A and B are shown apart, each in its own frame.
Chain A
């Protein structure tokens, strides 16, 4: 799903991501952790095709980056801090927009399903401005899942989702293993994510300092393994 080799991104001369190797297989769910400024978000944005690598090789969903960005984008589901929806459109209008951008054939049926899934069907015709933060983020969850992405890229998802949204997301991530989707979850709360991830990757100063499977490990142990190297 992802093959990254010697990936570098720099702001001016300062390297935020400094030679990262990462291979992600179908069904794998990676918790990507690290202190502030370790390069997690920059790396995630590169994987999401929002940032060009300065150097190194990157393949996302089998497409070389940055040239194959558009093909890769069709299969990426991206959840950011911001819900990435227009506040002055209704929930349904937002999803219709994204449905058209992704060229979804069964757009309206799919939107109804997802709105129901995230518990917003009754609020479908209200503008997002009237939503609480948690509701907006649940709409963002629906937006992310709309085009049935094979690769989920999540930036601190649990920080902004409400309890209900968090549960929905966890269920998605559990199901991902069985239907061959992959996920990268950037997180501060390692224990929280450890329950749904099967691999821990820790970044420090733009480099991978730990990359190991965590299947069968207790969340507290994962936390300890993280803290040993995070700095």
Chain B
């Protein structure tokens, strides 16, 4: 094993992705608030949609990454996949909480109340937050290889629960309020769509940047622990 000189592996990637994410977040924020057209019905509050939906999709990507990392961990038993899985879920959970908060703000502005049990997106994300919060409870109550294996299995099962929660809420809604929900993206004017794509790219870049930073931190932590153990041994 060779600990690099001053730099941890992946540090460069973290810096690059950090810069891309910063740039995109700044550009998309400017675009959303200053350039994109104002929604005729909802006014300024509609602009939260760009964040809300982009973060929601980015969080799903994070959970998908964790699921794949879980499968790879079970195949290879390589600690690195556990790092990727945990870091992804941590970021995904943070994003999901933001989805619930932005959704709640949106609900307050459109319907005058912070929480609407009949809005499938809000309710689904509440369940998603619960599912992935449990991941950390599970992690904190097992050790070493078991912790990593259980986490990997749970990341896979959790990712299966996400579409199930989503559809169960929708199926129930469709019977209670027989309305067809159209996604905001389906009939967006082109100028809105462009800024949506930019803000989506910004959120995905933010996810990757956060992931890289987290992984660099973990790698150095692990290297330190190994070093400490070796010093103890001598």
- Nearest-CB residue, chain B, relative to A11: B144
The reply on A52 being an interface residue by CB < 8 A is: yes
Size band of the interface chain A makes with B: under 10
The reply on B226 being an interface residue by CB < 8 A is: yes
What's the minimum C-beta distance from A14 to chain B, rounded to whole angstroms? Answer: 7
Q: Once the chains bind, are A13 and B226 in contact (CB under 8 Å)?
A: yes
Residues of A within 8 A of B226 (CB): 13
A11–B229 Cα gap in the complex (Å)?
13
Q: What are the interface flags for A96-139 relative to B under an 8 Å C-beta threshold, 1 for contact and 0 otherwise?
A: 00000000000000000000000000000000000000000000
Q: Once the chains bind, are B143 and A11 in contact (CB under 8 Å)?
A: yes
Q: Once the chains bind, are B77 and A12 in contact (CB under 8 Å)?
A: no
Q: Once the chains bind, are A13 and B229 in contact (CB under 8 Å)?
A: yes
- Nearest-CB residue, chain A, relative to B144: A12
A10–B77 Cα gap in the complex (Å)?
13
Give residues 160-195 of B contacting A (CB, 8 Å).
none
Q: Once the chains bind, are B143 and A52 in contact (CB under 8 Å)?
A: no
Residues of A within 8 A of B229 (CB): 13-14
Residues of A within 8 A of B144 (CB): 10-12
A13–B225 Cα gap in the complex (Å)?
8
Residues of B within 8 A of A12 (CB): 143-144
Residues of A within 8 A of B225 (CB): 13
Give residues 34-78 of B contacting A (CB, 8 Å).
77
Residues of B within 8 A of A52 (CB): 77, 145
- Nearest-CB residue, chain A, relative to B229: A13
Q: What are the interface flags for B192-234 relative to A under an 8 Å C-beta threshold, 1 for contact and 0 otherwise?
A: 0000000000000000000000000000000001100100000
Give residues 11-27 of A contacting B (CB, 8 Å).
11-14
What's the minimum C-beta distance from B158 to chain A, rounded to whole angstroms? Answer: 24
- 9 A-B contacts (beta carbon < 8 Å): A10-B144, A11-B143, A11-B144, A12-B143, A12-B144, A13-B225, A13-B229, A14-B229, A52-B77
Show the binding face of A for B, using Cβ within 8 Å. Answer: 10-14, 52
6 new A-B pairs (CB below 8 Å) besides A12-B143, A52-B77? A10-B144, A11-B143, A13-B225, A13-B226, A13-B229, A52-B145
